[in-house]
Amino acid sequence: MAERILVFYGSYRADRMGIRLADYCVRALQARGIDAALIDARAVDLPMLDRMYKEYPEGQAPEAMAALADKIRGADGFVFVTGEYNWGVQPGLKNLTDHFLEEWFWRPAGVVSYSAGRLAGARAGVAWHGTLSEMGMVVISSTVNVGPIADTLDAQGHPTGKAGESLEKSFARFADDLTWWTEAARLQKTRRAPPY
pLDDT digits (tens, 9 = 90+) for 39-66: 999 999 999 999 999 999 999 999 999 9
Task: Determine the Cα–Cα distance for residues 25 and 117; give it in Å rounded to an integer.
Answer: 20
Average pLDDT, the chain: 95
Task: Determine the Cα–Cα distance for residues 8 and 137; give it in Å rounded to an integer.
Answer: 14
How much is the CA Rg of the chain, to the nearest whole Å? 16
For the stretch 58-116, pLDDT in tens is 999 999 999 999 999 999 999 999 998 888 899 999 999 999 999 999 999 999 999 98
Report the length, in residues, of the chain. Answer: 196
Task: Determine the Cα–Cα distance for residues 93 and 39; give it in Å rounded to an integer.
Answer: 10
CATH topology of domain 4-191: Rossmann fold (3.40.50)
pLDDT for 109 equals 98
Nearest to 21 by CA among 83, 77, 70, 78: 83
pLDDT for 154 equals 96
CA 128-49-97 angle, 5° bins:
30
pLDDT (average), residues 156-170: 96
